[in-house]
């Protein structure tokens, strides 16, 4: 019989290595880049210590959540341009309710805020699924709504997050090199790993990967997309609370920065904007990289205004390298 393209024999180890490189190569490269940047930082600033490290983790925390929130939706094949305003909403809701209360009260408030903003995220998803209007349009519109609501809750930046609540992220309970801000990140695997292993999590990947095939595989497209938006809302709420903890301030206008930087982080983190491909490790590392750049500039004595520019250039370079691969392969 004719031989066909069907490979039937068990594959040699080399193939498996190639496959691992293809699947996880980007994530490894992002961590390598982060490590390289850290080395450079320490070379520039020999007295880099736990304080600087702590500052970095604090700056990266809200962004990491923003990136993870966006990743949820992008994996399902969508995009959420309202992640930043959702974070701002969580942030100001927390401030309004916590003002002048103790830790226990604040923790209850935090739970309620998580619930509220998760629902807001789910509402994004519900509108998209029900109206069938493209996600980019709906979340663009709802970004106005969440930002407006945030302004209604709090008209201008106001300090007043209880100190005990702030210290959940700001201190270093265990070791100066393991700041609490790093530990708070554990929320991500706590939610993500069980989700990813569940059928619902697989369904989210499935919807992003190939909607038609997902439908034929019996996946409920509407619910899966809605779930992705709801989990995105949850992580955005975490991001808003992280913002409260790290800054102690309620800032109704924090939104725009985190929407854009969140998208930057997932691109850098190797999540395919086409959906269905990527994980959470890459975006988190990318959030650290993006937060490290302004710090490095300051250590170098360069105007931190260059930070935004460099972030933009970095993304352009990263995506162009990705694109170049496609172009070269075609040739």
Partner 1 sequence: MSVRVVSAVRLVQQRSIVVLIALLVALAGLIEIIRPGAVNASWVSNILEFAAPLGILAAGQTLVVITGGIDLSVANVATAAAYIMASQAPYGVTRAIVAGLLVGVVVGLVNGVGVAVFRVQPLIMTLAMGLVVTGSLNVYSQAAIRSVPGVPAVIHALGSGTVLGYVPVSLFLWAPLAVLLILGLRGTGFGRLLYALGDNLEATRLAGVRAWQVLLANYAACGLLSAVAGLVLSGTVNAADLSLATVLLLPSVAAVVIGGTSIFGGSGSYSGTIVGALILTVLNSVLTLLDVPDAVKQVLYGAIIVILAAAYTRVLGHD
Partner 2 sequence: MSAVPNDTPLADSAALLEASGLVKHFGPVVALRSADLRVRGGEIHALMGANGAGKSTLVKILTGALTADAGTITLGGRNRSFRSTSEARGAGLICVYQDPSLLPDLTVLQNLKLTATPITAFRRYLIELGLGGFDLQTMPRELARPTLSLLDLARALAIEPRLLLLDEITASLPADLTVRVFNVARQVRAEGRSVIFISHRLAEVSALCDRATVLRDGKTVGVVEPAQGGEERIVKLMLGPVADEVAAEAASPSAPATGAVAVEVRDLKAGILTDVTFTLRYGEVLGVAALEGQGQQELFDCLAGVRRSESGQIMVGGKTRTFRHPADAIRAGLVLIPADRLQALLRQRSVRENIALPLVNRISRWGPINTRREKRRVEKAVKRLQIDTRVQSEVRRLSGGNQQKVGIARWLVGGFQTLLCFDPTRGIDIGTKRQIYGLIKELAAGGSAVLLFTSELPEIQLACNRVIVLFGGRLVDEMPAAEADEKALLRAAHGLPAEADAEQEA
Q: Which does 236 bind (CB under 5 to 8 A by kind): partner 1, partner 2, none?
A: none
Tell me the window of 23-31, 129-137, 176-184, 229-237 that interacts with partner 1 (CB under 8 A).
129-137
Q: Rounded to 5 degrees, what angle do the CA atoms 321, 326, 328 make?
A: 90
Choose from partner 1, partner 2, none: what does 331 bind? Cβ within 5-8 Å by kind: partner 2
- Between CA 194 and CA 198 the distance in angstroms is 6
Candidates 5-13, 82-90, 107-115, 169-177: pick the segment binding partner 2 (CB under 8 A): 5-13
Q: 23-62 mask for partner 1 (x: CB under 8 A)?
A: ----------------------------------------
Contact 114, 232 (CB under 8 A): no
Within 170-229, the residues that bind partner 2 by CB under 8 A are 199, 202-203, 205-206, 208-210, 212-220
Per residue, what are the HEC states of 292-305? HHHHHHHHCCCCCC
Candidates 67, 68, 115, 71; CA nearest to 89 is 115
Q: Are 48 and 296 in contact (CB under 8 A)?
A: no
Interface stretch with partner 2, choices 8-16, 29-37, 113-121, 238-246 (CB under 8 A): 8-16
- Token pair, residue 180, equals 């609490």
> Least distance from C-beta 323 to partner 2, angstroms?
17
Minimum CB distance to partner 1 smaller for 122 or for 182: 122
* String of DSSP letters for 68-104: HHHHHHHHTT---TTHHHHHHHHHHHHHHHHTT--HH
Give the span between the Cα atoms of 203 and 325, in whole angstroms: 29
Q: In whole angstroms, give the CA distance from residue 226 to residue 223.
A: 5
Residues that bind partner 1 (CB under 8 A): 79, 127, 131-134, 136-138, 140-145, 147-149, 151-152, 155, 260, 263-264, 267, 273, 303, 305-313, 315-316, 319-320, 322-324, 326-327
Residues that bind partner 2 (CB under 8 A): 1-11, 19, 23, 199, 202-203, 205-206, 208-210, 212-220, 276-277, 330-331
């Amino acid at each position: 019989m004719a031989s066909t393209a069907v490979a039937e024999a068990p594959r040699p180890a080399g193939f498996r290595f190639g496959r691992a490189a293809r699947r996880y190569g980007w994530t490894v490269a992002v961590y390598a880049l982060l490590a390289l940047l850290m080395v450079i930082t320490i070379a520039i600033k020999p007295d880099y210590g736990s304080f600087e490290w702590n500052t970095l983790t604090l700056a990266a925390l809200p962004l990491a959540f923003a990136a993870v929130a966006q990743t949820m939706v992008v994996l399902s094949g969508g995009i959420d341009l309202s992640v930043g305003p959702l974070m701002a909403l969580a942030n100001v809701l927390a401030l309004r309710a916590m003002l002048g209360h103790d830790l226990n009260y604040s923790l209850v408030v935090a739970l309620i805020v998580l619930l509220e903003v998760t629902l807001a995220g789910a509402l994004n998803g519900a509108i998209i699924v029900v109206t069938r209007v493209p996600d980019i349009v709906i979340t663009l519109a709802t970004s106005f709504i969440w930002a407006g609501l945030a302004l209604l809750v709090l008209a201008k930046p106001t300090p007043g997050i209880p100190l005990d609540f702030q210290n959940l992220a700001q201190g270093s309970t265990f070791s100066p090199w393991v700041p609490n801000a790093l530990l708070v990140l554990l929320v991500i695997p706590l939610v993500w790993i069980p989700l990813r292993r569940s059928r619902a999590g697989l369904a989210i990947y499935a919807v992003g990967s190939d909607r038609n095939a997902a439908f034929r595989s019996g996946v409920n497209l509407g619910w899966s997309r809605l779930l992705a938006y709801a989990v995105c809302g949850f992580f955005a709420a975490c991001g808003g609370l992280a913002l409260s903890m790290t800054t102690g301030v309620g800032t109704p206008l924090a939104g725009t920065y985190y929407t854009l930087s969140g998208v930057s982080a997932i691109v850098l983190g190797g999540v395919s904007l086409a959906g269905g491909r990527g994980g959470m490790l890459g975006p988190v590392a990318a959030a650290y990289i993006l937060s490290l750049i302004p710090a490095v500039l300051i250590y170098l004595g360069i105007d931190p205004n260059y930070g935004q520019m460099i972030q933009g250039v970095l993304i352009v370079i990263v995506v162009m390298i990705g694109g170049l691969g496609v172009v070269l392969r075609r040739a």
